[in-house]
A and B are shown apart, each in its own frame.
Chain A
Amino acid sequence: MRAGGAIPGAVRAAALALTLAGFASTLWNGVDEPGHALAFGVLIALGELARRGALPGDREPAPLASAGALAYALLGESAGGGTSHGVLQIVAVVVAGGLAGLVPHIARGSGPDLDHLARRILSVGFAALCFQPLYNAGAVTTVLGHGPSYALFLLLLLLLTALCDAVLAALMLRARKGYPYGPLLREELRALLGIGSAVCATGAVMALGVAVAGLWALPVFCVPLLLTQVSFRRFTAVRTTNRQTIASLARATEIAGYTSPGHARRVAALSGAVGRELGLSEPDLTVLEYAALMHDIGQLSLVDPVPEGATALLPAEEQRRIALLGGAVVRQTGVPAAVAVIVERQADPYHEQPLPARIVRTVNAYDDLAAGSACGALTALERLRLATARDHHPEVVESLARVLARGDGAGSIAPVPPG
């Protein structure tokens, strides 16, 4: 871990301190409205149980638990009567419910992401801290009453909480992975529009629903969010399958002996790292990944393989011809058309290329030079630097050098999942 490594530690320590304070205070003072505490605790536990079946690509594996926690933090009234639970009790209930729901997962050996858990505790604490002291002092109802402005106030608080959470998440990701902060924050904010907004809306709806209809609202109001969770999960599943199939198609060139083993995968991983370094957005990174996986697929059309599969060593015209053949194959698959464009233009001079194509070109050349035993990593980089007049974009080459210096290009290559 480098300089940023302190942030995740600090976040976890803060979450732990808050949790301990919550439990201590709740044990000391007893529980206000135990019925509500129990109902929300059960809801959060069930939401955590529904985490089962989540895929690694899920941004929010347990949306119901998050929404339930936020709703409890923003719970003011219940069926007309007021409530009096405080911030520390909220934290204690959320943690207890979450832990209860997590026990089966931990028993099966698939524990949760601790960073994620810490972030949830902190963001729930933040929302509760914004709302409960004001509400318990009577300030909220006297100023806003029980009309639409109250509902909007809740939504505003949730928005603020989500923003803080996104900032925190981006900070922690930066500390862990070392990517630039700006694009990470942009990605986090963008993800808010997906399941994040559904979680926020459900949190507000549950808080308001309990205010109107009492605890009956909880089971009824969590159904749409469950539907959202199922939809997102199916989407993630089919996307994962699609990605695996594309990777298999990409491996055809290796198995046919056109390229060196693992070349496509290495280029994809390294291109992704360079793309992040250059601040590409998540959808662009997906397109880049697909293009990098399939960049050599044009070689399948050759009757004889290129020696070592190293297209970077071929004459420029030949490279472009193979690139065009590859684009024609890629257009047959179901990937976005942008992927085919990148594959087609990977051999053009960099002035004429879009950024992803520049990245694929440079990383491919690097892998051909470095892995093809032509020369070592440093010599390969040096040769790329010498070719920045026409072939390689200087900025891309420098990003590649930074990524390689960090060493996360090779480290982030995920092994092929076992069969």
Chain B
Amino acid sequence: MVRISRRRPARPAQLASVTRVMGVKAIPPAARVYIGCALLGAAGCVLPALRPGAQTPWSAVALLAALYTVCELPTHCRLLGRALGGSAPMGAGSFFPVLLSSALLLPPSAAALTALPGALLARVERRPAGVRRAWRTAQLVIAVWAAAMVAGALDGRLALGGGPHHPDFPYVLLPAAACALTFCLVLTALDGGVRTAAEGVPPRTAWRGLGRALAPHAVHGLAGLMMAVLWRSTYGPVAALFVLLPMYISCWVFAQYHREHAAHRATIRALVQAVDIKDRYTRGHSERVGRASVLIARELGMEEDRLEVVRFAGILHDVGKLGVPTRVLRKDGPLTPEERRIIELHPEYGHEMVRGIGFLGEARSAILHHHERMDGSGYPYGLSGAQIPEFARVVAVADAFDAMTSTRCYSRARPVEKAVAELERCAGTHFDPRMVRALVRALDRYGWSSAVTADEPRPPETDVPPTRTRTPETRPPDPAPPGRQTPASGPAFRAGDVRAPGPVSPDGAVPAPGHAPPGRQAPASGHVPPGRQVPASGSASREGAVPAAGHGPAGARRAAGQEDRAAGGRAGHAAPPRRGRA
């Protein structure tokens, strides 16, 4: 079962590298020495301000330091949370306008001092906390000091004006830009150094984040400049505070964005999981098909955002199985033609389900057409050749490949070579040869592993013996007596009540004019198998597909795989499958 991590601590990604370094538990000696040196350097930056007679502007230092600390404190911000519904904590170490404005306003060592309390008190997300805290402090102090040095060298403090003197625009933009750039460079350099020392990352990769970090630092630099200008003006520090509000809100909203994004990923996983629950043969199948689809698409040279879409197409290609009655999916024994027709409706069900999800784009037609074949013998529309959408051709190959290489109850996994040979045999008739070749090339290059993340953390499923056990979470408050029948057998049930399986409208399911053969009909009520009206015998429905419930009896799983056979002897399933009873 996929573990859903709600409320992953979120933070502005570009600026948070400070807290992300040192992913190892035991800190190697080289890193210790490096951090020690940084601490010494930071102390060297701060000390001149503490000497007697240093003329440090203490009130400004105290105000700015307090401001930075307040911004960095791990607040959940209830007031704002009500405005958007829910609140996630903001990331620490990402609020730099205050530091940049103090670098512009104050002499270097005094500016370095303002970073000290905030960096020491802010939240640390990973352990070892003490070392990380010390390292972050040293890093920020040195960066602010360097930025203030550069700003001072360019006469930034003079250009800001002050009191009745007006700031020297546009010249003052130069020290501000130099200040932000220095700050960004020093942070990235120190970060890269500690990565190299602690994790053995090659120095070149350590610099890779620089490009992405520049733009946010430029924005923070502008905000810092505004703060500094207003701070020096007759309106005083109060006016400077106004600048922080939009910055603070945007940082906070960014954290909420990450929270919502994680929630969305979880929802997609839940969709996939719901399919896994109904069709237990194919655990992990969706995720692997997504992966194989990306392999093919990347080999075809698709762009990054299309790769993401093709991944979703692969992951969600069987989502329509949610619409197929569980009784048919799990049927024990051969399928009747009627049941086969119902199972073959799953691409249309899937398309009907996801057509409201805007971001899926092309993936929706891939879900509709992933059982089409190149020679036109597939379903639902019998499209052939280039009529089949590109993504659908990709997903069809990935689907067949994973079906062959993964172990199912009725058939053992085949080696990759055999599966590839089978795919190549059917290329041109079933599959697009271009996609098959792309998959072969990708397999040569990257290899294939069938492990999925869905395999890893699912203790309640693998540990529970295959009996009808329930976890306490899903246990009803008053367990029904053992002899109780399913709801369908209750008095509310009316025999002969045949209903249409779903609102599959013809216009909704047809992707483009001219794609559908004229004779095609929307699924009608006649598709419902007689089995659906029969009251369930015994407590079959009670072992329903509760996510946390144990596996059903192994025999019940068999029929699910028949969809693959119903798909018309998909590459290599010609031999009758072995039915392995547990």
Could you list which residues of chain A lie within 8 angstroms of chain B, going by C-beta atoms?
79-80, 146-148, 150-152, 155, 190-195, 197-198, 201-202, 204-205, 208-209, 211-214, 216-217, 220-221, 223-225, 227-228, 230-232, 234-235, 238-242, 244-249, 251-252, 254-257, 261-262, 281-283, 286-287, 300-308, 310, 313-315, 317-318, 320-322, 324-325, 328-329, 331-337, 416-419
In the bound complex, how far is the Cα of B322 from the Cα of A190, in angstroms? 40
- The answer to whether the Cβ of B514 comes within 8 Å of any Cβ in the partner chain is no
**Cβ–Cβ contact A213 & B500, under 8 A:** no
**Cβ–Cβ contact A205 & B226, under 8 A:** yes
Which chain B residues border A234 with CB–CB below 8 Å? 254, 257
- Given known A242-B264, A317-B480, contact A256–B488 (CB-CB < 8 A): no
Q: Which residues 69-107 of B have a CB within 8 angstroms of A? A: 79-80, 82-86
**Cβ–Cβ contact A255 & B502, under 8 A:** yes
Which chain A residues border B545 with CB–CB below 8 Å? 300-301
Which chain A residues border B268 with CB–CB below 8 Å? 245
- Given known A212-B233, A238-B257, contact A223–B242 (CB-CB < 8 A): no
Contact partner, B242, options A191, A205, A213, A244, Cβ 8 Å: A205
**Cβ–Cβ contact B547 & A328, under 8 A:** yes
- Given known A238-B257, A314-B487, contact A248–B249 (CB-CB < 8 A): no
**Cβ–Cβ contact A256 & B260, under 8 A:** no
In the bound complex, how far is the Cα of B271 from the Cα of A244, in angstroms? 12
**Cβ–Cβ contact A257 & B358, under 8 A:** no
**Cβ–Cβ contact A216 & B169, under 8 A:** yes
Q: Closest CB of chain B to A27's CB: distance in Å?
A: 33
In the bound complex, how far is the Cα of B222 from the Cα of A228, in angstroms? 14
In the bound complex, how far is the Cα of B225 from the Cα of A228, in angstroms? 18
- The answer to whether the Cβ of B314 comes within 8 Å of any Cβ in the partner chain is no
**Cβ–Cβ contact A257 & B325, under 8 A:** yes
8 closest residue pairs by CB, A with B: A334-B263, A334-B266, A283-B85, A261-B503, A255-B502, A301-B544, A255-B323, A216-B169
**Cβ–Cβ contact A416 & B356, under 8 A:** yes
Contact partner, A320, options B4, B161, B349, B476, Cβ 8 Å: B476
**Cβ–Cβ contact A244 & B548, under 8 A:** no
Contact partner, A201, options B242, B322, B352, B541, Cβ 8 Å: B242
**Cβ–Cβ contact B236 & A261, under 8 A:** no
**Cβ–Cβ contact B226 & A252, under 8 A:** no
Q: Closest CB of chain B to A6's CB: distance in Å?
A: 30
- The answer to whether the Cβ of B359 comes within 8 Å of any Cβ in the partner chain is yes
- The answer to whether the Cβ of B166 comes within 8 Å of any Cβ in the partner chain is yes
Identify 6 new A-B residue pairs, CB closer than 8 A, beyond the known A205-B226, A205-B230, A303-B486. A191-B83, A198-B245, A213-B229, A245-B271, A283-B85, A283-B86
Q: Mark B495-527, 1 if CB is under 8 A from A, else 0.
A: 001011111100010010000000000000000
- Given known A148-B236, A334-B264, contact A255–B501 (CB-CB < 8 A): yes
Q: Closest CB of chain A to B431's CB: distance in Å?
A: 26
**Cβ–Cβ contact B271 & A335, under 8 A:** no
Q: Say which size band chain B's interface belongs to.
A: 35 or more
In the bound complex, how far is the Cα of B81 from the Cα of A282, in angstroms? 11
Q: Mark B473-495, 1 if CB is under 8 A from A, else 0.
A: 11111101000001110101110
Q: Closest CB of chain B to A134's CB: distance in Å?
A: 18
Which chain A residues border B164 with CB–CB below 8 Å? 80
Which chain A residues border B271 with CB–CB below 8 Å? 245, 248-249, 252
Q: Closest CB of chain B to A326's CB: distance in Å?
A: 10
- The answer to whether the Cβ of B528 comes within 8 Å of any Cβ in the partner chain is yes
**Cβ–Cβ contact A195 & B474, under 8 A:** no
In the bound complex, how far is the Cα of B474 from the Cα of A331, in angstroms? 11
- The answer to whether the Cβ of B274 comes within 8 Å of any Cβ in the partner chain is yes
- Given known A146-B235, A214-B166, contact A198–B267 (CB-CB < 8 A): no
- The residue on A at minimum CB distance from B251 is A231
Contact partner, A255, options B79, B238, B266, B320, Cβ 8 Å: B320
**Cβ–Cβ contact B477 & A320, under 8 A:** yes
Which chain A residues border B161 with CB–CB below 8 Å? 212
Which chain A residues border B247 with CB–CB below 8 Å? 224, 227-228
Contact sample, A vs B, 19 pairs, CB 8 Å cutoff:
A147-B234, A198-B250, A211-B235, A212-B230, A213-B167, A214-B169, A227-B247, A231-B251, A235-B257, A241-B358, A241-B359, A245-B264, A251-B356, A256-B501, A300-B274, A304-B486, A314-B492, A329-B547, A332-B4
